[in-house]
Amino acid sequence: MQKLHLVMGGRVKDPRSLEFVDLKELDLVGVYPDFASAQEAWKSSAQRTVDDAEMKYVIVHLHRLLQPDLTED
């Protein structure tokens, strides 16, 4: 089974949260077929904005949303 992962990021209201300031301005980096490639894309995007505490990138496990009973990454 394909385990899709979404990498996205943007400016957050508080660096300790995941509440994005403007959803229209989200940076949708891409959808990846496995965690390793998603992590590589996340790392690249996060490193570009490392000096901006209000920018946050995340990996969303799409396969967990599509098949919640599946627990492995």
Domain with residue 60: its CATH number is: 3.30.70.2400
Instruction: Output the average pLDDT for the chain.
Output: 91
Q: Mind listing the pLDDT tens digit of every residue in the chain (73 residues)?
A: 788 999 999 999 999 999 999 999 999 999 999 999 999 999 999 999 999 999 999 999 998 888 877 665 5
**Of 17, 7, 11, nearest to 42 (Cα)?**
7
Enclosing domain of residue 14 = 5-66
**What's this model's pTM, rounded to 2 decimal places?**
0.85
**Is 72 part of any domain?**
no
* Contacts of 2 by beta carbon, 8 Å cutoff, 6+ apart: 33, 63
- Report how far residue 57's alpha carbon sits from residue 19's, in angstroms, rounded to the nearest whole number: 12
Number of domains comprising the chain: 1
Q: Strand runs (DSSP E) across 1-73, as ranges?
A: 5-11, 27-32, 55-61
What pLDDT sits at residue 58? Answer: 97
What pLDDT sits at residue 71? Answer: 62
- Report how far residue 55's alpha carbon sits from residue 4's, in angstroms, rounded to the nearest whole number: 23
